[in-house]
């Protein structure tokens, strides 16, 4: 099967613990589950509804603050932002608003009618979203299209180790809604495909890109 990101050939491996088939691209370092394991939005929502995301919870606020502490020093002074895939909460948008950044939010399950189709942004944030995407390359392209020239896309998703043995014991794929997995290099490849450049990654789960 060809890679969903760069169209190069992939190799397959089977997770011994789950017997799930995965495809691994040695070129862009992208891994994806066999499509038979993909879930529709209704099934995904059942899982998401189990999350306990209280906007007044200090730990939840601190979680987003760590993300902002990494990305905001890298993105200048954006005037308008979009939280893409916000889930049921608009907390991240609220935190950006508190820093003087106007922020819209969108989620295909919980806020499906809030996306302003013709609006563009200085900053798009997306936390714990990309691992759920059936078509990540197409979504990436659509987000870049919504950026103003010089705008930034800041993504958080756990980076895999590129080793099938350690992948088998990794906690991240155990969530059945997590179907695609990235490394910083994968986003470098996507950036080169769609006219962006990588500004910085933290080597673990965050990367900031700029539209050229």
69 domain-assigned: yes
Residue with tokens 């990309």: 130
Q: pLDDT per residue over 5-34, tens digit each? A: 999 999 999 988 889 999 999 999 999 999
31 domain-assigned: no
**How much is the pTM?**
0.94
User: Model confidence at 3, in pLDDT bands (50, 70, 90)?
Assistant: very high
pLDDT value of residue 54: 67
Q: What is the mean pLDDT of residues 94-112?
A: 95
CATH of the domain at 168: 3.40.50.150
16 domain-assigned: no
pLDDT at position 155 over 90? yes
End-to-end CA distance of the chain: 32
DSSP string across 15-50:
-TTT--EEEE-TTT--EEE-GGG---HHHHHHHHTT
pLDDT at position 53 over 90? no
Query: What's the rounded Cα separation, in Å, for the pair 125 and 74?
Result: 13
79 domain-assigned: yes
- Determine the structural domain holding residue 197 and report its residue range: 43-211
* Domains contained in the chain, number: 1
Q: Which of 116, 113, 88 shows the shortest CA–CA distance to 102?
A: 116
């Amino acid at each position: 099967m060809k890679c969903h990101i760069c169209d190069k050939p992939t190799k397959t491996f089977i997770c011994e613990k789950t017997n799930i088939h995965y495809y691994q691209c040695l070129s862009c370092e992208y891994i994806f589950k066999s499509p038979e394991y993909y879930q529709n939005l209704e099934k995904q929502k059942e899982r998401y509804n189990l999350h306990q995301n209280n906007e007044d919870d200090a730990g939840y606020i601190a979680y987003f603050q760590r993300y902002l502490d990494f990305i905001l020093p890298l993105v200048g002074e954006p005037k308008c932002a979009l939280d893409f895939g916000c889930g049921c909460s608009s907390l991240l948008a609220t935190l950006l608003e508190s820093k003087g950044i106007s922020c819209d939010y969108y989620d295909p399950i919980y806020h499906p009618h809030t996306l302003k189709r013709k609006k563009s942004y200085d900053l798009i944030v997306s936390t714990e979203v990309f691992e759920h995407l059936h078509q990540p390359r197409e979504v990436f392209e659509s987000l870049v299209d919504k950026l103003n020239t010089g705008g930034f896309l800041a993504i958080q998703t756990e980076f895999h180790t590129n080793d099938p043995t350690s992948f088998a014991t990794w906690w991240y794929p155990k969530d059945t809604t997590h179907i695609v997995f990235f490394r910083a290099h994968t986003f470098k490849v996507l950036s080169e495909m769609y006219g962006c450049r990588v500004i910085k990654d933290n080597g673990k789960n965050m990367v900031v890109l700029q539209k050229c």
